[in-house]
A and B are shown apart, each in its own frame.
Chain A
């Protein structure tokens, strides 16, 4: 397949392919971060994760409409406002859900699976009733469209780079919050020993609520960013949920580093295979490989060492 091409052509394609892989990595990591917090730290299987993302996407759409109608001069910067709003909207909904639903089910993990799945259906139908069944198009500011022309043949999509930068920032922020802040210590204390954490004066219920809200908020920001690359409709969240769980489970549930490593491995494998095979086959082979590895290493790539 490469016989007819010059070396510089090939070089350019491989450079762009490398970037395609990195962009996919950022997308995977961004969707998985929120779930890594909720599933990893709290052990809650949140099937409605995709719907929290789509809430962020709809908030972005509303913000973009608002700016177009009332503040057209500031349209170029609306995306940053939208991301902040998306974080708080999804976070607030997350807090409400934790208070109304999840906290009653902490001791019954399989029931949370069913309850959050039901929640995802309810949210989908709510979006459909409120925003309509049709997908909405989110207009991007002009500066986010198009690509950087690195050389004649190499073009790097601007929105891809934007997602990458955003992912790095959010990952750093989450890492800081979980591992270096006082509140993060409380979260980890509750994860390791809830009773003991309570005994030393940590309000475990409050920690649970804010952890869940943080995970949902991060999902909202991810949804906001994905309006640049994917669709925004009532059921769009479903497109992400499988990949998201894959990344988190493959990485090892309670480990942020594991999530990063697994997002990187899966995205690189998929994007390389997609280049040499077809889209569907790439997915099949990636999934087979993951199943194989998980059979050998059920705890995922990185796991906390615990005494059994």
Chain B
């Protein structure tokens, strides 16, 4: 009874498995032979990063729980897509990318703690992550102390530059100036009403917008500037003020749940965005999902990427994204910028011929990514990206029609003179 199993002849499946296992080492040799140009680990990794002969480990650090999960989900999806595409195409320096994902939980100290874990414990060669400026400010000292590399996707207020960060989103002037110039020249707009949620990004951005309107656009002025606590849902009073002052342009930098309330109430109050100009830098396709296309149709947004962008790269990117994450997902500006991160890192590592952080940082300026969905980007000396600025007009179906694009790449200028 006890020996019954042993007396059975080996099953065919088991024999096949055994044969497969025996052949496995040879398979490994074959792969090695076919990628004869894979550089030795000792050559590409002199600083003890998590790099082996076959793979390299990176980190993804976003909030997947808490308030910010709503915004950061798209970035995580884009980064995973980019990594899987790079792996399918042969990896980086012959190595497959493995990622470790950590949850910042919308809490800034948690971000710092997880960043330290990714760098110190996991020895990640690069980290793709953060969304809010607050989370970036929290991890910055960690990346500088432990010499890591962060690819940060969000458009932000500028006034920062670090050897250890590549900013793949726009800094403030890239996002603001071209849009204001455009609405001033083509729509003959002279008066502006500035609105924002009450924290650093909208305040800094509106400050730059105000300086530009007052000092660089002739005959233009700001007729109102107001801030609302994060999460505020009542805008009827300011809408009445807007009706009273009748500005040519409402310039809105409202974020999060407030956005939804603002546009719904604007529409309910009878302000027709097909007649009233409204320019925003905070509403991407992601936000329109919550606002409802019919509430915001007609508004203009100034971004560097729209899902509807018509170029070959984007025509490949959008279906690939939807195939991986579902037909209903939308792709906003930041999601696209997050997609650039792993790709830029790969190109930089190949240019440097190394994963070492110092070599990546030094090799970054001048790296070009011709396959970017937004068209073409290049890393500037200051670790921000040269990229085009575009203006789109919201449609009722939640997409934007691109109505303007700067003819040249706009230079990133995180410390703009005369705007501070």
Contact = CB atoms under 8 A, between A and B. Distances in A.
A157 B73 CA distance: 34
A126 to B, nearest CB: 11
Contacts, number: 143
Contact of B261 (A133, A146, A231): A231
A128 B71 CA distance: 12
Contacts of A292: none
B99 interface: no
A280 B69 contact: no
B65 A229 contact: no
A157 B269 CA distance: 5
B231 A238 contact: yes
A136 interface: yes
B69 A128 contact: yes
Given A128-B65, A134-B286, A135-B70, A231 B237 contact: no
A232 interface: yes
A233 interface: yes
Interface in B190-236: 198, 225-229, 231-234, 236
Contact of B268 (A146, A238, A279): A146
Interface string A217-247: 0000000001011111111101110000000
A226 to B, nearest CB: 8
A160 interface: yes
A137 B292 contact: yes
Given A17-B237, A146-B268, A138 B292 contact: yes
Given A157-B269, A279-B229, A231 B69 contact: no
B70 A233 contact: yes
Interface string B161-201: 00000000000000000000000000000000000001000
Contacts of A238: 67, 231
Contacts of B261: 229-231
B36 interface: no
A279 B70 contact: no
A9 interface: yes
Nearest to B292: A137
Contacts of A283: 229, 232
B53 interface: no
A233 B290 contact: yes
A20 interface: yes
Contacts of B259: 231
B160 interface: no
Interface string A101-135: 00000000000000000000000010010001111
Contact of B289 (A134, A149, A228, A274): A134
A181 interface: no
B29 interface: no
Nearest to B261: A230
Nearest to A277: B226
A134 B231 contact: no
Interface string A253-273: 000000000000000001110
Contact of B290 (A134, A149, A282): A134
A171 interface: no
A4 to B, nearest CB: 9
Interface string B248-263: 0000000011111100
Given A133-B70, A146-B270, A20 B289 contact: no
B351 interface: no
A136 B289 contact: yes
Given A20-B236, A229-B264, A234 B70 contact: yes
Contacts of A146: 267-268, 270
A16 B289 contact: no
A272 B287 CA distance: 30
A158 interface: yes
Nearest to A2: B244
B20 interface: no
Contacts of B233: 27, 226, 229-231, 239-240
A274 B238 contact: yes
A230 B257 contact: yes
Contact of A135 (B65, B244, B260, B269): B260
Contacts of B260: 135, 137, 230-232
B240 interface: yes
B266 to A, nearest CB: 10
A137 B67 CA distance: 17
A180 interface: no
A205 interface: no
B265 interface: yes
A20 B290 contact: no
B243 A16 contact: yes
B291 interface: yes
Interface in A127-173: 128, 132-139, 145-147, 149, 155, 157-160
A20 B231 CA distance: 18
B226 A145 contact: no
A16 B265 contact: no
A133 B292 contact: no
Contact of A13 (B228, B240, B294): B240
Contacts of A135: 70, 257, 260, 287, 289-290
A279 B226 contact: yes
Tell me which of A17, A27, A138, A228 has the highest count of chain B C-beta atoms within 10 A of its own C-beta: A17
B134 interface: no
B322 interface: no
Given A135-B260, A231-B260, A24 B236 contact: yes
A269 to B, nearest CB: 12
A193 interface: no
B337 to A, nearest CB: 18
Interface string B67-78: 101100100000
Given A19-B236, A229-B265, 12 more contacts: A137-B260, A137-B292, A137-B293, A145-B267, A157-B269, A159-B264, A231-B258, A231-B261, A232-B290, A238-B231, A239-B257, A279-B228
9 contacts: A20-B239, A27-B234, A135-B287, A137-B291, A155-B270, A229-B233, A230-B257, A231-B259, A278-B228
Interface of B: 64-67, 69-70, 73, 198, 225-229, 231-234, 236-241, 243-244, 256-261, 264-265, 267-270, 286-294
Q: A-B pairs with the 8 shortest C-beta distances?
A: A135-B290, A20-B236, A231-B260, A157-B268, A279-B228, A274-B237, A231-B257, A137-B292
